[in-house]
């Protein structure tokens, strides 16, 4: 179960939960779920500069 700081509003909690559901951590690599359901690997800063 997720825990949120007490000062966060109910709306902010719901918004965060929706955003968190789009991401998956597999083997230490962060992925974002695309619109078609495929997992898209998130780039770190050095990769994004290349």
Domain boundaries, the chain: 10-49
The whole-model pTM stands at 0.69
Predicted local distance difference test score (pLDDT) of residue 48: 83
Better-scored residue on pLDDT, 50 or 36: 36
Predicted local distance difference test score (pLDDT) of residue 3: 85
> Angle at CA 2, nearest 5°, toward 10 and 24?
110
Give the integer Cα–Cα distance in Å for 50 and 44: 11
For the chain, state the CA radius of gyration.
14
Q: How far is CA 40 from CA 10, 22, 35, in A?
A: 29, 10, 10
pLDDT band at 45 (very low <50, low <70, confident <90, very high): confident
Is residue 35 scored above 70 in pLDDT?
yes
């Amino acid at each position: 179960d997720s825990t949120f700081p007490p000062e966060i509003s109910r709306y902010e909690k719901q918004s965060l939960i929706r955003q968190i559901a789009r991401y998956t951590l597999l083997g230490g690599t962060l992925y974002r779920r695309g619109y078609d359901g495929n997992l898209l690997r998130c780039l770190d800063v050095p990769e994004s500069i290349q």
